[in-house]
């Protein structure tokens, strides 16, 4: 096994699936000779050529629309949106066509395609290169939404997503593209969509999170441990579908759930988790459900370290939950 980064895990998954299945096509802005702005498609153009690694015009609507046409007629396209912030240019295609084609056609057509995009802050990208738009797509029936946090999960979940018969929006936390490394098997393996991972076991407080925030949660859990507080960290891995059994299990175990994500609090995915816990497990609660999130403002450039959930903000929520 090789010790690789999250970005390299993306590349490895794409390369292996393209070798395995000649229906897999990669398309997007600068994905060819440049290898993508984050080099996630580096080397694919040289191996598979311009008919399978397609540099597109700067039009997200065209990228998604072309990918949908490919998917409807038998290919397995993986469309890259250079930054998740630019995905709004293809929003109409995604929510009105990609997500609905199976239902609209009565099952005559499907959309086995993946829409990849680096998302989130932490790279000093300002308001147009740091957004976390996952809730928009979680709200859209017909889409699956996947957000990995480790190289192992990234490769396994991307392979699973490419093989899925329905469209998957695959957000990659770019601030940890090269910040984390992990032993990842070479060759074929999959990670199932809809199954959470227990990143850390604990008994007193539960943190539900995903993406780069997993590492902030783990750091806060380490800090809490020094004060005798045992924190369980659940990495959801996929938002649609999310692992309801894992959420119920941890809430019943600790009775003190905290939800962490980078997106703004208002109507963020944490709101759905909060409602689910309140509906299903309100009698298990020992403290109010807390959310540590981005703020309801545009993403700031200079003060992104204040905007993002961090170890100290999460630790403060842990103490508040314990002291309730």
* CB half-sphere exposure, 72, CA atoms < 13 A: 17
Q: What is the DSSP string of 8-53?
A: HHHHHHHHHHHHH-TTEEEEETT-STT--TTSTTTTHHHHH-TTTE
Residue 114: predicted pLDDT = 98
Q: How many residues does the chain have?
A: 324
Contacts of 60 (CB under 8 A, 6+ apart): 81, 86, 87, 88, 89, 90
Residues 6+ apart with CB under 8 A from 288: 321, 324
* The pLDDT value given to residue 1: 84
CA distance 174 to 163: 23
| Predicted pLDDT of residue 283 | 97
The answer to whether 90 touches 29, Cβ cutoff 8 Å, is no
pLDDT in tens, the chain (324 residues): 899 999 999 999 999 999 999 999 999 999 999 999 999 999 999 999 999 999 999 999 999 999 999 999 999 999 999 999 999 999 999 999 999 999 999 999 999 999 999 999 999 999 999 999 999 999 999 999 999 999 999 999 999 999 999 999 999 999 999 999 999 999 999 999 999 999 999 999 999 999 999 999 999 999 999 999 999 999 999 999 999 999 999 999 999 999 999 999 999 999 999 999 999 999 999 999 999 999 999 999 999 999 999 999 999 999 999 999
Torsion sign over Cα 83, 12, 159, 206: negative
For the chain, list the domains and their CATH numbers. 2-184 (3.40.50.970), 197-323 (3.40.50.920)
Q: Which of 187, 186, 207 is nearest to 198 (CA)?
A: 207
Spell 241-272 as b/e; 16+ CB within 10 A means b: ebbeebbebbbeebbbbbbbbbbbeeebbbeb
Half-sphere exposure of 111 (CA within 13 A, CB side): 29
Choose the catalytic residue: 129, 139, 261, 303: 129
Is 303 one of the annotated active-site residues of the chain? no
pLDDT at 267: 97
User: pTM for this one?
Assistant: 0.96
Instruction: Note the Cα 245 to chain centre separation in Å.
Output: 19
Burial 102-121 (b: 16+ CB within 10 A, else e): beeeeeeeebbbbbbbbbbb
């Amino acid at each position: 096994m090789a010790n690789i980064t999250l970005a390299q895990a993306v590349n490895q998954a794409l390369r292996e699936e393209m070798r395995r299945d000649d229906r897999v096509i990669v398309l997007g802005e600068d994905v060819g000779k440049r290898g993508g702005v984050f080099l996630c498609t580096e080397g694919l153009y040289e191996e598979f050529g311009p008919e399978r690694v397609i540099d597109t015009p700067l039009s997200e609507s065209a990228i998604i629309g072309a990918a949908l046409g490919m998917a409807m007629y038998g290919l397995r396209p993986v469309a890259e949106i250079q930054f998740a912030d630019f995905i709004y240019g293809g929003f109409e295609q995604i929510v009105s066509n990609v997500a609905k084609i199976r239902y609209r056609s009565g099952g005559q057509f499907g959309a086995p395609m993946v829409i990849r995009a680096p998302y989130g802050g932490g790279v000093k990208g300002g308001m147009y290169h740091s957004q976390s738009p996952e809730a928009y797509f979680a709200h859209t029936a017909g889409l699956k939404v996947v957000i990995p946090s480790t190289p192992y999960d990234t490769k396994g979940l991307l392979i699973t997503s490419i093989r899925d018969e329905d469209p998957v929006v695959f957000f990659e936390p770019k601030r940890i593209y090269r910040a984390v490394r992990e032993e990842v098997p070479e060759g074929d393996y999959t990670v199932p969509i809809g199954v959470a991972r227990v990143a850390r076991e604990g008994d007193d407080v539960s943190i539900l999170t995903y993406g780069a925030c997993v590492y902030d949660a783990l750091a806060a859990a380490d800090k809490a441990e020094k004060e005798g507080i045992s924190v369980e960290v659940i990495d959801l891995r996929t938002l649609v579908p999310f692992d309801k059994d894992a959420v119920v299990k941890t809430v019943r175990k600790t009775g003190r759930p905290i939800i962490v994500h980078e997106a703004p609090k208002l109507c963020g995915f944490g709101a759905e988790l909060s409602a689910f816990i309140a509906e299903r497990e309100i009698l298990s609660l020992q403290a109010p459900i807390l959310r540590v999130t981005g703020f309801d403002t545009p993403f700031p450039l200079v003060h992104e370290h204040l905007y993002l959930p961090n170890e100290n903000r999460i630790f403060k929520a842990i103490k508040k939950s314990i002291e309730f």
